[in-house]
């Protein structure tokens, strides 16, 4: 079987399926970490948990109920809260932290991002147009 033939068959199989997402990726990474821990600790049951995580991740990727998997992934990302950017792209999250300061609008609570090190800035809220000062 030629390489192109194999790729086409994989594409046909994955057509209409979810593919890898954040939740599946995390399951695979946690499984890898558990396997590495099990190499040193020899519990046995850790490798079973990691196997279950890999099976769950594979099931998620191959599921044809794309809408349900998307909702689960969205709920997972929402549950992560402020940790989310650090898990998805740590370099970008570190750059954001160094370059920008985040402030909340005192009127509506909308988060605004201002450049760091520019002194006191007068900010107009993009949501409610309230003007307030932020020390950057």
Q: Based on the number of CB atoms within 10 Å of its own CB, is 123 exposed (0-12), middle (13-18) or buried (19 or more)?
A: middle
91-110 positions binding Zn ion, by CB under 5 A = 105, 107-108, 110
Min dist CB 110 to Zn ion, Å, is 4
Window of 10-18, 23-31, 75-83, 119-127 that interacts with Zn ion by CB under 5 A: 119-127
Size of the site for Zn ion (CB under 5 A): 8
DSSP line for 60-104: HHH-S-HHHHHHHHHHHHHHHGGGHHHHH-HHHHHHHHHHEEEEE
Q: Which residue has the tokens 């650090």?
A: 86
Q: Toward Zn ion, which CB reaches closer, 36 or 108?
A: 108
- Is residue 125 at the binding interface for Zn ion, with CB under 5 A as the rule? yes
Window of 22-30, 65-73, 95-103, 124-132 that interacts with Zn ion by CB under 5 A: 124-132
Min dist CB 78 to Zn ion, Å, is 22
The number of CA neighbours under 13 Å toward the Cβ of 92 is 7
| Residue choice 95, 118, 127, 131 for contact with Zn ion (CB under 5 A) | 127
């Amino acid at each position: 079987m030629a390489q192109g033939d194999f790729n086409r068959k994989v594409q046909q199989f994955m057509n209409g399926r979810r593919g890898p997402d954040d939740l599946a990726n995390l399951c695979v990474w946690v499984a890898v970490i558990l396997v590495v821990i099990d190499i040193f600790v020899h519990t046995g049951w850790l490798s079973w948990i990691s196997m279950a995580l890999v099976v769950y991740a594979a099931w998620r990727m191959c599921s044809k109920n794309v809408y349900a998997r998307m909702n689960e992934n969205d709920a997972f990302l929402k549950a992560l809260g402020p940790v989310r950017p650090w898990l998805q792209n740590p370099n970008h999250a570190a750059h954001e932290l160094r370059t920008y300061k985040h402030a909340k609008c005192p009127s509506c609570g909308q988060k605004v991002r201002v450049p760091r090190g520019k002194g006191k800035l007068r900010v107009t809220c993009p949501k409610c147009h309230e003007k307030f000062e932020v020390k950057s």
